[in-house]
Amino acid sequence: MDVFLFYKLNRGVHFIMDQGPKANAFQFLDKLQFNRFHIQLLIFTTLSSVVMGIISQTVAYILPLVLKEWHLTPVQGGSIASYTFLGLMLGAAGFGILSDRIGRKKTLILAVAISGIFNGIAYFAPDYTVFCVLRFLSGLGLGGIPPLSVTLLSELVPTRMRAKAVTTATCGFPFGWALSGIVAMFIVPNFGWRVLLAVSGFLALILVPFLIVYLAESIRFLSGKGRNEEATEQMRRIEKTARLSASEWSFDGIASGPHKEKGALRQLFSAKLATMTILVWLSYCFTLVTVHGLSVWIPQLFVKAGYSLVKSYSFSIVQSMWALAGGFFLGFLLDRFGRKPGLLLSFMLGGLSILIFSIANSPAFLYLAGVATGLFVLPLPGVLHVVAGEIYPTRIRATGVGWAAVASRVGSILGPIFGGAIQMAGLGFHTFFFIFAMPCFMCMILVAFYKVNVKNDALEEVSSKLMSKS
């Protein structure tokens, strides 16, 4: 067995191979100090999530004007967001499967490009129907971004930083909501709601060439496909970017050779994985009911409560700006206490934060509620991404994460429609938030039944631990 000695130098982390002719690449990746390569990877996966957040949240900021221009009911308005999330649902499954076949990097780039192109074209939508179709097509691309970013980070980031990296990157999504709101405050009153669509689509397309140049492919994916020469090239790239000493690499630990992906979905429901798959899917669904029910309707709720359009934007922006810090904090909880205790605490804090909205009676109190939900509610999908990215073997990991994202998009679709129905039923501002706090507490019950508590486990050890459970 290879044994490595690690030591720090001013220009990076170096290692000496103590035994054996080759260093095991996967052991090395799991034990490596966080370095320039990981920072670069985290930056571009986070930027992908930011773009996703900007594009998805444009609906919330333009919704009051779209409702007025096209004379739509609240349910029709909510369905615009739901068509987007329907695209996200199908895209998550499709791009996840595609990623397990052609690679994480190529598929992520394709997803970002599709989301930007169709969101930009929505600028020209003549009516409600065409707009919904274009938002659906943009959503297809958006759906691929979370599972691909999560899979790349899970497979390339060292064990002790995995949860913090995944939650931080995925919280680029709500951070994008904040940026979208800031841009909307300037663009929408001065140039109209359509220009916001064009700008957000353009931002996605700007990111594409940077992903092509700077994003790395997963070593685990390449080795699992028997493409060890390409895996070695990627290891050389890591060495160069992180300024590490060169070594000869072995890729033992993942079954090599081309894998037939037929039946990959069926494998998610094998005897050992079925329980966790169902529990994680339900957790995703309930979480996204809350997250997107709130995010889509908060600007409109505040307008109805008597606040100006720009003021309503400010509440959403405050909420979203705190999400990145919240993602890092919740990731810390998962790394520090393990996945089950960390998730239980995260969902409890999330539910309590929403309840603050239900009792708030002043602008200052509402801003406090916005900060709390930004810290503890918006990052909740990210903490679930950590679990989904760990429990499945490499050959079906992106498929597993993708289908978990599909389950989440069921919640994304239902949340905005449910929020519209609550308003049409005549229930008040405070009741709205009380109802949307309940899914967080339901998720606590689901997490209590999780079969494995991951803490400081190498990626290959996690699925093995789960598979050993009766």
Q: Is residue 456 part of a domain?
A: yes
> For every one of its 470 residues, what pLDDT tens digit does the chain have, with 9 covering 90 and above?
333 434 343 344 444 444 345 777 887 888 778 888 888 899 999 999 999 889 988 887 888 788 888 888 877 877 787 788 788 888 888 888 888 888 899 999 999 999 999 999 999 999 999 999 999 999 999 989 988 898 889 888 887 788 888 888 887 887 887 888 888 888 988 898 899 999 999 999 999 999 999 888 888 888 888 888 888 888 888 877 777 776 777 777 665 544 444 456 778 888 778 888 999 999 999 999 998 888 778 777 888 878 787 777 787 778 778 887 888 888 888 888 888 899 999 999 999 999 988 887 788 888 888 899 888 998 898 888 888 888 888 778 878 888 887 888 788 778 888 888 888 887 877 888 899 999 999 999 999 998 766 666 666 676 666 666 54
CATH number of the domain at 205, please. 1.20.1250.20
CA distance 317 to 370: 9
| Residue 25 counted as domain residue | no
Contacts of 245 (CB under 8 A, 6+ apart): 14, 15, 239
Query: Is residue 333 within a helix (H) or strand (E), and if so which, with residue range?
Result: helix 323-337
Cα–Cα dist 442/454, whole Å: 21
Which helix (H) or strand (E) element contains residue 77? Answer: helix 74-102
Give the separation between CA 241 and CA 113, rounded to whole angstroms. Answer: 26
> Hey, what amino acid is at 320?
S
Q: How far apart are CA 297 and CA 320, in angstroms?
A: 14
Handedness of CA 310, 315, 316, 322 (dihedral sign): positive
What are the φ/ψ torsions at residue 166 (nearest 5 degrees)? -65, -45
Among 195, 48, 99, smallest CA distance to 402 is for: 99
83 domain residue, yes or no? yes
Q: Name the helix (H) or strand (E) containing 9.
A: strand 4-9
Collapse the DSSP code of 5 into the 3-class scheme (helix H, G, I; strand E, B; otherwise coil) and give the result.
strand
Number of domains in the chain: 1
Q: Beta partners for 23?
A: 249
- H or E element, residue 14: strand 12-17
DSSP state of 340: H
CA 451 to chain centre: 23
The number of angstroms, rounded, from the C-alpha of 190 to the middle of its chain's C-alpha atoms is 32
| Pairwise CA distance, residues 388 & 404, whole Å | 7
Q: Is residue 3 part of a domain?
A: no
Prediction pTM value = 0.71
Task: Name the residue range of residue 98's domain.
Answer: 34-244+261-467
Q: How far is CA 163 from CA 34, 153, 256, 370, 456, in A?
A: 13, 9, 27, 24, 10
- Sequential DSSP letters for 196-245: HHHHHHHHHHHHHHHHHHHPPPPHHHHHHTT-HHHHHHHHHHHHHHHT--
Using H for helix, E for strand and C for coil, what is the string for 32-65? Answer: CCCCHHHHHHHHHHHHHHHHHHHHHHHHHHHHHH
- Give the angle subtended at the CA of 381 by the CAs of 380 and 387, to the nearest 5°: 100
Give the single-character DSSP code of 7: E
Q: What is the distance between the alpha carbons of residues 150 and 167, in angstroms, rounded to a whole number?
A: 9
d(CA 397, CA 390): 8
Q: For residue 249, give the 3-state DSSP assignment.
A: strand
| 6 domain-assigned | no
* 255 within domain boundaries: no
Q: Which residues of 309-323 are buried (b: 16+ CB within 10 A; e: fewer)?
A: beebbbbbbbbbbbb
210: burial class by Cβ within 10 Å (0-12, 13-18, 19+)? middle
Q: Which residue from 440, 382, 422 is spatially nearest to 153, judged by alpha carbons?
A: 382
Cβ atoms of residues 373 and 318 within 8 Å: no
User: 421 CB contacts (<8 Å, ≥6 apart)?
Assistant: 75
Question: What does the chain come to in residues?
Answer: 470
Number of helices (H), then strands (E), in the chain: 20, 4
Tokens of 182: 């800031």
Give the pLDDT confidence score for residue 176 in this predicted structure. 86
16 within a domain of the structure (yes/no): no
